[in-house]
Structure 1
Amino acid sequence: MQKVNLRFVQSILMDETQAHPKLPPFVKHYRQRYGLDQDAAIPSPVGSVQAYDLTHLLARAVAQAKSSDHAAIRDALEALPPYVGLMRDYRPAFTPDRHDALDQTLLHLARFDDHGRIVLAD
């Protein structure tokens, strides 16, 4: 049976040579916390990293808003100071006209390696 040469668009690579500087320590801690060896694929790496960044952005917005009111939190999200996340430096994360913190500059052509990890495509 032939192997499928699958290529796909990915917003983050867990490959430490391609990563944002804060990502390798996160990956190391994640592997220790969940008992994964160095070659094991991290389940849902994109979800893990995006959830980490979003949680930190949201916590900062709630602290800045000093309220649990959704409008106050939205306004705070739109006015957050820069934040260095795992995916990117958010400068700013959101604005009144842009509610998506991610854009096309984060996209990579990727593939799975022999261990099931997502890596940059050749």
Structure 2
Amino acid sequence: MKKIHIVAIGMIAVAIFILSRMAGDMSSYATFDQAEVSGKKVKIAGELVKEKEMVYKPEEDPNEFRFYLRDTDGKEHRVLLLRAKPQDFELAEQIVLTGRMKGDEFVATDYLTKCPSKYKDEEVFLKEKKS
């Protein structure tokens, strides 16, 4: 077998490995019910339940923030985020959490927030101006 064939087979094997590892990250969002059943690490999209308490005590543990999230099915669950409370967290339109269920609590190790656009007011102004 020529050297070029060995290198090509090696590159194909590496590409297959990388794609198989990335496939898990490209999955769709789960709900709390699906997270309970699977027991695996999942991504859950939802909105902050502003009527319920948020607990962040940085003097006790700066990497522990508790709040309630409503998933896309409308089910609410308590969440433990193992990170500091994000700035302007209450303003988020949508929150995506990565974690798993532990008992009756969703333990998240990572998050992504979608905040309102600072350009939204400008868009409304421009639309009104055109009319």
Task: Report TM bin, short chain.
Answer: under 0.3
Larger strand percent: 2
Larger radius of gyration: 2
Larger RCO: Structure 1 or Structure 2 (Cα < 8 Å, ≥ 6 residues apart)?
1
Larger helix percent: 1
Q: Give the TM-score taking structure 1 as reference length.
A: 0.23
